[in-house]
Structures are given as structure tokens and as C-alpha cells.
Amino acid sequence: MGKRFELIVFDWDGTLMDSTGAIVASIKAAARDLGIPPPSDERASHIIGLGLIDALRHALPDLPTERYHDLAERYRHHYLSRDQDLLLFDGAVELIDELARAGYRLAVATGKSRKGLDRAFEVSGLGPRFHASRCADECQSKPHPQMLEELMAEFGVEPDATLMIGDTTHDLLMARNAGVAALGVAYGAHPRETLEAESPLYCAVDVAQLAAWLRQQG
């Protein structure tokens, strides 16, 4: 692999872990628990990557403010009942291992809470492979650049040596706001045409294609 970048930052849900379907189903089930019409699959998947409360406000904008806490609790109930069954995308472990051997600094920037990411790290076994991470309950939610700014500061890496990889426009806009290059992955929450409208360096249709681009251009 080349060394165009020093720090590579991954989103988690829909980028490394195949969790989009579980998130959408959990949002809809939580809405039904509260007796409110659930959002469409498209609307529910569009908010993946945001912090939980921000995501729920976007998915169900007409809900009274005081009910979002209850909605979040029901979402957590449904998601946690299935997260042990979630799997990493094929090739994700091999890609992370290859990048680590090549000497890249690796990090995660996610809309998950710290508790949620730590659980995902433990379940997947990927946690020790990352040098740092930032979560939505520690920083401002995407697309604010704080997560990337803090990660770059932690490692002393400049924006032109940093790459963000994610499956949503929230990831790509966060990268743009931080002055960082970005790759889209079209196998997660947002469709390829939506990602390409934000002009990432590349948009991969699977992990194998992502790995190939990184070997040639990273």
C-alpha cells in the first residue's frame, strides 16, 4: 500500500458492521411501541450515523419533545435484543488488519454512544485494532467536524493526510467540514447516487472494492 494518508477514520454502522437493517427495524419497532406511525424505511435509514436523539428527531419530527427519551429507550431495547447477531461485512477484518500492518493510524468516528461502540468492539473483536475513536455522546453529532478534528489533533495529523470512510452523507459532510478527503461506501445506509452527489474521492460497492482502492490510492 502507498502512504498518501496517515490517518484513516471509519464510520461503524453500515461501513464496517452490517447493521443498517437492524437499526431501521429497531426505530420502527420503537415507534410502534409508543403508538405512533413508524417512519418509512428510507427516512429511517437516512438518519443512520447521527447521534441517537438527533436521529430520532429527524426520523419522527412531529413527536413531542418530552417523548424522545421514551422513544430512545425503546429503540435501545429492540436494538440490543439483536446486536449480538450482527456481523461485520465480508472482508472488513482482513482490510483493517492489512491497513494496520501497512502502518496507518486507524480510528472510528460514529453516531453510536461510547457504551454502544465499546459493546460493538467487544462483540466484533475489532476494538484492539483501532488506535482511537470518537462517539456522538462525546462530540457534536455529524456532520459537525469535531470528531475528526479531535482525532487529527490526538495524532498530530494534518487534514490532507487524513481520510474519512463512511456510508452516509453525514460522514462525507463531516469530512468536508473538517477539510478532509472522503470515500463513500454504497453497501450501507445511503444509496450510491446520494453519496456521489457529495463528490467523495471514490464510492465503493463492497469491501473488496474499497480495499482495492486503498491499495492503489491510499
Helix (H, G, I), strand (E, B) or coil at 9: strand
**Which residues, 6 or more positions from 10, have their beta carbon under 8 angstroms from its beta carbon?**
16, 106, 107, 108, 109, 165, 166
DSSP letter at 194 equals H
**The C-alpha cell of 205 is what?**
460497492
Q: For the purposes of burial, counting CB atoms within 10 Å of the CB of 64, is it exposed (0-12), middle (13-18) or buried (19 or more)? A: exposed
Under 8 Å between Cβ of 198 and 173 = yes
CA pair distance 18, 123, nearest whole angstrom: 13
Task: Based on the residue annotation, tell me whether 11 is a catalytic residue of this protein.
Answer: yes
The catalytic residue among 13, 54, 83, 171 is 13
Q: What phi and psi values does residue 139 have, to the nearest 5 degrees?
A: -135, 170
Catalytic annotation, residues:
11, 13
